[in-house]
């Protein structure tokens, strides 16, 4: 009896320590909380336990004109000004090396075509400057392969009291069939319900430029052809070189740093799921260790 107890206790202890070690190694993925598409509206509400955005202080400034993002005209002018900020063709001259900093990034954007993350970050700066909430979405291939996918951005319009989705790299406002701005939660719900035809991309005066590949693949290509809407991730935390993020409990940003939205299929990074199972294993094994301890004290194995 004592031998069985010691063996069980040893295995349980190993599981608890192994689970804790796995969680530490993969703590980045552990801080993503999966949300099913049926509950996607939760990311728009926000709460202490499920924050909808992460406040941040940019580590520099860029020379973008300020337009009122809460108006359609101001939003369009802001997106157009982002296009002017970065060239469509590479320029000769500045090529910076070494670690990334805010100043290096801003200077480099003047001579090279922006990437989707650049467009998102420029829009974040414009929104933050006006005191607006803003957040980044990653649209990824299945499994989250490194360096692939697309970045878009939402801001909260206090006049309409809703999140609005734009693709800043393409100067695009995402709208419904009658021209009303859509949030990402609306886009994902419509896409999941087979109503993708009612999701429209408004490029404004840049339509012809974008359709001819001015910024690479179009928004429609990323959304519907590549089907990146099947693996959406709301990313709450920005890069540390780009913005200063408040620490909570010693962590950079909130405990939760993102929400992978589970669509029809399980397509997110395996560690996003494994870390949750590991956490469950840690709690169960810890409970059993406590249980065995009290049982030993009471019945004296």
Q: What is the pLDDT of residues 89-112, one digit of tens each?
A: 887 655 555 688 999 999 999 999
Q: Which domain holds residue 295?
A: 1-31+270-301
* Together in a domain, 42 and 141: yes
* Together in a domain, 23 and 157: no
- Lowest-pLDDT choice from 26-35, 107-116, 287-296: 287-296
At residue 297, the pLDDT reads 53
Residue 124 confidence (pLDDT) above 70: yes
* Together in a domain, 139 and 212: yes
* Together in a domain, 181 and 294: no
At residue 298, the pLDDT reads 56
* Together in a domain, 53 and 78: yes
Domain count, the chain: 2
At residue 49, the pLDDT reads 85
* Together in a domain, 262 and 279: no
The structure's pTM equals 0.90
Average pLDDT over residues 103-128: 95
At residue 81, the pLDDT reads 97
Instruction: Convert the pLDDT of each residue in 241-265 to its tens digit.
Output: 999 988 777 777 788 999 999 998 8
At residue 299, the pLDDT reads 53
Percent of the chain with pLDDT over 90: 77
Residue 31 confidence (pLDDT) above 90: yes
By residue count, the chain amounts to 301
Do 35 and 260 touch, CB atoms closer than 8 A? Answer: yes
At residue 296, the pLDDT reads 62
Residue 189 confidence (pLDDT) above 80: yes
At residue 245, the pLDDT reads 87
Radius of gyration over every alpha carbon of the chain, rounded to an integer in angstroms: 23
The more confidently predicted of residues 173 and 147 is 173
Average pLDDT over residues 183-197: 97
Q: How far apart are CA 220 and CA 199, in angstroms?
A: 9
* Together in a domain, 233 and 291: no
Do 134 and 155 touch, CB atoms closer than 8 A? Answer: yes
* Together in a domain, 101 and 202: yes
Closest CA relative to residue 52, chosen from 40, 63, 62, 64: 40
* Together in a domain, 118 and 179: yes
Q: Angle at the Cα of 219 (from 108 to 64), degrees rounded to 5?
A: 40
Residue 66 confidence (pLDDT) above 70: yes
Do 36 and 262 touch, CB atoms closer than 8 A? Answer: yes
At residue 6, the pLDDT reads 74
* Together in a domain, 75 and 222: yes
At residue 190, the pLDDT reads 97
At residue 300, the pLDDT reads 54
Q: How far apart are CA 256 and CA 24, in angstroms?
A: 15
């Amino acid at each position: 009896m004592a031998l069985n107890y010691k063996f069980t206790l040893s295995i349980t202890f190993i599981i608890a320590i192994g689970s804790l070690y796995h969680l530490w190694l993969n703590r980045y993925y552990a801080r993503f909380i999966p949300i099913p598409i049926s509950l996607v509206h939760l990311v728009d509400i926000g709460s202490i336990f499920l924050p909808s955005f992460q406040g941040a202080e940019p580590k520099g400034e860029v020379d973008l004109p300020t337009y009122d993002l809460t108006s359609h005209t101001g939003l369009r002018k802001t997106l157009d000004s982002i296009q002017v900020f970065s060239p469509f063709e590479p320029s000769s001259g500045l090529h910076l090396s070494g670690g990334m900093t805010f100043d290096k990034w801003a200077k480099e954007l003047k001579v090279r075509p922006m990437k989707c993350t650049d467009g998102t970050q420029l829009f974040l700066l414009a929104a933050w400057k006006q005191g607006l909430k803003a957040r980044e979405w990653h649209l990824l291939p299945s499994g989250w392969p490194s360096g692939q996918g697309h970045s878009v951005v939402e801001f909260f319009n206090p006049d309409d009291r809703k999140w609005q989705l734009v693709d800043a790299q393409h100067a695009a406002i995402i709208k419904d069939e009658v021209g009303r701005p859509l949030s990402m939660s609306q886009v994902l719900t419509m896409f999941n319900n087979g109503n993708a035809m009612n999701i429209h991309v408004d490029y404004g005066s840049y339509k012809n430029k974008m359709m001819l590949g001015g910024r690479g693949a179009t928004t429609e290509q990323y959304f519907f052809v590549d089907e990146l809407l099947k693996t959406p991730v709301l990313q709450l935390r920005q890069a540390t070189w780009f913005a200063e993020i408040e620490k909570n409990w010693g962590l950079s940003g909130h405990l939760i740093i993102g929400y992978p939205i589970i669509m029809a299929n399980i397509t997110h990074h395996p560690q996003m799921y494994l870390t949750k199972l590991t956490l469950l294993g840690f709690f169960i094994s810890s409970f059993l260790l406590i249980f065995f301890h009290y049982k030993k004290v009471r019945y004296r194995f």
